[in-house]
Chains A and B, each alone.
Chain A
């Protein structure tokens, strides 16, 4: 498998963040790209810059009232009493100056990546700043103001009528925003694997959320038990995602690669290692070549252990996107640069050592419960997906 790959990025994208005391910190993007560079994975590549999303782009999936509120809050407009109604100005989604512009840049980057792949300028593209999957039509939610995947999918549908888009989301949190935006649309298949919403934000993403109306069957959810490990996670992926995508027959695949399902992540309770952040992109890459001429856009997403997990996970993602080998060791130059800034010891190897992550005592029970969820998906959701 081969193909031309693009890395969509510019420094402006690193402005989407909420300050050093907030878990969503864009320094993770900087650390990731510098790790890619130190590992020699950027040799022969240049960052592809893109234009910010326009207001018209944002309005494909967001309401005008909401976009106006974000703009006002972003410009420091005080006295807006209804901001809370729009999810703006909370601890999760602080009304930081410039958040509209920063959010629009992220959307523009993912939209640009999609256009580049659709026009044949690249076979695969990665934009790790993207993946803000919680943003709702009229509400900021879970660190997300504008929904980059939502806008990109809506625009691709306008620019290429009849196109079928598969969205595959393996962030630890349910990809609720993207799901609701296309809940009744049979041309957009959303597949989300995430920690069960019984406890974790946003609380949705049960198997019974299958889409609505003509879109019934085109929203696929695989809720995983807390403390799910690599083996069970990959088994569930293999039982659901290839069949769902093969039944659907996409023209393009957009994947959200949040890496907050790692055991070290402070916001969730899954127990994956770096292994799945290499294995899942490999599988998606294979499916893109098998089903849609290699057309694949990979975004980032959640990931809150920004020193030990995110840089390695998304460097592994870029290695798959760019068909390169991941080195065994974390390059010394990167360690020297980032160790003094890190409050915690940085890992020396690019891949976690399985010996450091022994199976928990409840692993068999967790695996069994995940299998039951998968059986339910295979029984009640996948048969509803029709080829065009």
Chain B
């Protein structure tokens, strides 16, 4: 679960280094995509984004634009040093790689072969599924001490309230020896479990005044 291969697109539109900027931008527009791997002899040699292409060509309305679009080829504007992901990488690794480099996508490569592409939109989709936001549920935020067993004790209270947990995320320490856990619970009425949590000494940050 939560691997790059679970979220990536497998059908990838690719270019060659000789593709013109005009053709590449047309593909972006037609297919509604922003990131294109560049291939030479079945080998990934670079990546180009619609932004790379736009910033390399004269602005819209500039009389020189049409000619420049035909003249400029992808090899002149693409990034050659390409960060890639493996299909079995955890998705958070791919997300972190994109974040650190300030890029919006990673080509996915297995045994030297391009097998997919993962973009920031795919990561967001995975986040939505991870927190269970597509299933009916209520969000409950609980503060708990940063020590072994906290999560188990909190989870046991959901069991005691006979409430199924759609998803559970325990965040990093908040700096005061506590962690915040966010539960999505399959109930329209979180009040009973909120009461159990408060009585057991776990402050509930949301919903208010349980």
Q: Are B139 and A91 in contact (CB under 8 A)?
A: no
The answer for the CA separation of A199 and B138 in the assembled complex, in Å, is: 6
- Taking CB atoms, residues of chain B closer than 8 Å to A201 are 136-138, 187-188, 190
Measured between beta carbons, the chain A residues less than 8 angstroms from B208 are 269
Q: Give the complex CA separation of A32 and B71 in angstroms.
A: 77
User: Which of A90, A92, A134 has the most CB atoms of chain B within a 10 A radius of its CB?
Assistant: A92
Kindly provide the distance from the CB of A95 to the nearest chain B CB, expressed in whole angstroms.
Answer: 12
Report A324 CB to chain B, min CB distance, Å: 33
The verdict on A84 contacting chain B, using a C-beta distance below 8 Å, is: yes
Least CB separation from B133: chain A residue: A203
Contacts of B187 in A (CB 8 A): 90-92, 201
Which of these, A198, A202, A269, A304, contacts B136 with CB under 8 Å?
A202
Report A-chain residues with C-beta under 8 Å of the C-beta of B191: 23, 266-267
Q: Pick the residue among A136, A204, A267 that contacts B188 (CB under 8 A).
A: A267
Query: Is B201 at the interface (CB under 8 A from chain A)?
Result: no
Closest A residue to B187 using CB positions: A92
| Cα-based distance from A141 to B136 in the complex (angstroms) | 8
Q: Is B162 an interface residue (CB 8 A)?
A: yes
B161 within 8 A of A: yes
Min C-beta distance of B159 to chain A, whole Å: 11
Q: Given A84-B164, A91-B192, A269-B207, do A203 and B186 touch, yes or no (CB 8 Å)?
A: no
B186 touches A92 (CB 8 A): yes
Check B136–A142 contact: CB distance below 8 A.
Answer: yes
**Interface range on chain A (Cβ under 8 Å from partner):** 20 to 34
- The verdict on A200 contacting chain B, using a C-beta distance below 8 Å, is yes
- Say if the beta carbon of A155 comes within 8 Å of chain B: no
**B136 touching A90 by the CB < 8 A rule?**
no
> Does B6 count as interface, using CB distance less than 8 angstroms?
no
CB of B184 within 8 Å of the partner chain: yes
- Report how far A336 CA is from B189 CA in the complex, Å: 31
- Whether B27 is near chain A, meaning CB under 8 Å from some CB there, is no
Q: Which residue of B lies closest to A199 (CB)?
A: B139
From A23, A84, A202, give the contact of B137 (CB < 8 A).
A202
* In the complex, chain B residues whose CB is within 8 Å of the CB of A101: none
Nearest chain A residue, comparing its CB with the CB of B186: A90
Residues in A whose Cβ lies below 8 Å from that of B139: 198-200, 203
Binary contact readout B79-95 vs A (1 if CB under 8 angstroms, 0 otherwise): 00000000000000000
Give the secondary structure class of A's interface: loop
Q: Which residues of B contact A367 (CB under 8 A)?
A: none
Known: A203-B138, A204-B136. A173 touches B164 (CB 8 A): no
CA distance in complex: A141, B68 (Å): 59
Q: How far is the CB of A213 from chain B (nearest CB, A)?
A: 18
> Does residue B155 face the partner (Cβ distance < 8 Å to A)?
no
Cβ-defined contact, A91 with B189, below 8 A: yes
Measured CB to CB, the closest approach of chain B to A192, in angstroms, equals 14
Q: Does A143 make an interface contact (CB < 8 A)? A: yes
Chain B residue nearest to A144 (CB atoms) is B188
- A176 contacts the other chain (Cβ, under 8 Å)? yes
Residues of B within 8 Å of A143, CB to CB, are 188
Q: Which of B136, B161, B207 has the most CB of A within 10 A?
A: B136
CA distance A113 to B208 in the complex (A): 39
CB-CB contacts of A181-202 with B at 8 A, as 1s and 0s? 0000000000000000111111
Within 8 A of B (CB), among A73-95: 84, 87, 90-92
Residues of chain B lying within 8 A (CB to CB) of residue A173: 188
- Establish whether residues B136 and A176, one from each chain, have CB atoms under 8 Å apart when the complex forms: yes
Contacts of B189 in A (CB 8 A): 23, 91-92, 267, 304
A266 partner residues in chain B, CB cutoff 8 A: 191
Within 8 A of B (CB), among A134-163: 134, 136, 141-143
Shortest Cβ distance from residue B7 to the other chain A in the assembled complex, whole angstroms: 19
**Docked pose: A91 CA to B195 CA in angstroms:** 15
Residue B25 CB within 8 A of the other chain: no
26 contacts between A and B (CB under 8 A): A23-B189, A23-B191, A84-B164, A87-B186, A90-B162, A90-B164, A90-B186, A91-B161, A91-B163, A91-B189, A92-B186, A136-B136, A143-B188, A198-B139, A199-B207, A200-B138, A201-B136, A201-B187, A202-B136, A203-B133, A203-B135, A203-B136, A203-B139, A204-B134, A269-B207, A304-B189
| CB-based closest 8 A-B pairs | A202-B136, A142-B188, A91-B162, A201-B138, A201-B188, A199-B139, A141-B136, A92-B187
